A and B are shown apart, each in its own frame.
Chain A
């Protein structure tokens, strides 16, 4: 995998995460809705940063799909939370890939920052720590 491929995968992951967090947010209220909104904003910033990096590299950034299949039915606050946890666990793996395949210091630093953010988010959404977040 090249750095560009890993960046495109991360961008595709952020597009999907934005969709999934949006769906989850629709089933949440109060503090959890607020947290989902903040998470949505963070993924939006990460998407924009990845887009900028790809454009700077002369590449065409992957576009978002109109809709995505969800890996679980989101019908309650509990399933909404489960979807967010799943998204953050899988995003951690995508960013660990980017760490491994980064060829530029700035890209590696961004990937590490986002891997740590996805890992911390898992705990704030009730997930348990793991030995190697982002491992495959």
Chain B
């Protein structure tokens, strides 16, 4: 573990500032992480990101252009159908177990955003949702089921992302990352509910 910078000699601190400026010019990753960039995702220059390709979406972020490649459209449409089904399952769980509604709301909101971006990027009509399998009996079992399904979705979408390239791969990978977060978040809440 490195020394605490507060304990570094003053000269070292000056060097560190100079170094950071040089690093910012040479290596975006360094500057992004520790040069004190704003963490406000709405501020230009926050975070990483390439500057080429895509268009601005309604949230001001880059969006991949709708694809005309049948394999890409198929991958994105399949993902959209899976996300739509997950969203419907969340909605059904919220209705069946109102005590879960508040903690499922964030997952429902993010899946709606995933679905909008996937439909936009695929350029295809929204996928029809198959009949939902029945929910497990009991709120805790339903929550565990939802967390497990989020994790499975994440694996499926990460696998699909690995077969694409460019902005479409990035979109599917980010959806998979969000699903991993939702799975972990629901699992934490499940543990809290069991206490």
Contacts and interface: CB of A to CB of B under 8 A. Distances in A.
Interface of A: 1, 6, 8-17, 19-20, 22-23, 25-27, 40, 62, 65-71, 73-75, 86-87, 89-94, 96-97, 99-103, 105, 108-109, 111-113, 115-116, 118-120, 122-124, 128-136
A96 B170 contact: yes
B117 to A, nearest CB: 8
Contacts of B68: none
B177 A71 contact: no
Given A69-B17, A131-B114, A9 B48 contact: yes
The B interface, classified by DSSP as helix, strand, loop or mixed, is helix
B161 A122 contact: no
Contacts of B101: none
A132 B174 contact: yes
B48 A99 contact: no
Main secondary structure of the interface of A (DSSP, over half): helix
Interface string B1-25: 1101110100011011101101100
A13 B50 contact: no
Contact of A68 (B4, B19, B50, B170): B19
Given A1-B52, A135-B174, A67 B185 contact: no
B1 A26 contact: yes
A23 B39 contact: no
Interface of B: 1-2, 4-6, 8, 12-13, 15-17, 19-20, 22-23, 26-30, 32-37, 39, 41, 46-52, 61-62, 106-107, 109-110, 113-114, 117, 154, 158, 161-162, 165-167, 169-170, 173-178, 180-182, 184-185, 188
A30 to B, nearest CB: 16
A85 B184 CA distance: 15
A134 to B, nearest CB: 5
A70 B27 contact: no
A70 B20 CA distance: 10
A100 B162 CA distance: 10
A124 B181 CA distance: 9
